[in-house]
Chains A and B, each alone.
Chain A
């Protein structure tokens, strides 16, 4: 699974009105770990960069939320 995702287990009440989600997920994009972009980072090809919206693989975040079964089998 995409390493940008984080998981936690929220409190579940014995009286939850709906089937509780046991695991919740949120994404932390890679920009959060780069205070200032260093020179010389690797790049996507120009075509690939135009498609993805960034030249920099290290700053690319693809939002693909995990399916419920994946995080809570």
Chain B
């Protein structure tokens, strides 16, 4: 089960009215390497991974939902007060036609989220290498999002999220080291 804490993992401050940015940020919401994909990937893989690293997948998978909530907050703040005309100018006319001000799980190009973005092979090493790659790709997405804005407050929140991907990658690579089980090798003799 989960316990919900009614606050964000890190404060989200948006200082510049730039609805177009919401169109780009949505990549981390419903995109292939976004937070939803990450959360679903890890929380699903954990059933068939060796006991030693289940907790890691639970922890990181849970944290990804906290990140998803931060991205949602950014998108909401950037769009909630825009007129339909402003959304149209920001390239969000198509979004408005289908969803009005609602958020939706799609990527920056408008492609709907698909579960085929993620895999579960049931092979611990294969799954963890997918997770490592996913973290590095999410880190890269945050870089490109930081490049796309000059709002220093928003950049600050994005930098926090990017650093978390650096740490997640580190922990998944440590999980691979744990599963290599070097001590187990010695017992052969």
Contacts from A to B (Cβ < 8 Å): 27, 29-31, 34-37, 50-54, 59-63, 65
Contact = CB atoms under 8 A, between A and B. Distances in A.
24 contacts: A29-B139, A29-B169, A30-B166, A31-B167, A31-B169, A31-B173, A34-B170, A35-B174, A36-B173, A36-B174, A36-B177, A52-B160, A52-B163, A53-B10, A53-B159, A53-B164, A54-B163, A60-B163, A61-B163, A61-B166, A63-B143, A63-B146, A63-B159, A63-B162
A53 B160 contact: yes
- The secondary structure that dominates the B interface is helix
B161 interface: yes
Contacts of A30: 166
A63 B10 contact: no
A35 B177 contact: yes
B142 interface: yes
Contact of A54 (B10, B142, B167): B167
A36 B177 CA distance: 7
Given A37-B174, A53-B159, A59-B170, 20 more contacts: A30-B166, A31-B167, A31-B169, A36-B173, A37-B170, A51-B160, A52-B160, A53-B160, A53-B163, A53-B167, A54-B163, A54-B164, A54-B166, A60-B163, A61-B163, A61-B166, A62-B159, A63-B143, A63-B146, A63-B162
B181 interface: no
Interface string B153-189: 0000001111110110110011001000000000000
Contact of B166 (A37, A59, A65): A59
**Dominant SS at the A interface?**
loop
B147 interface: yes
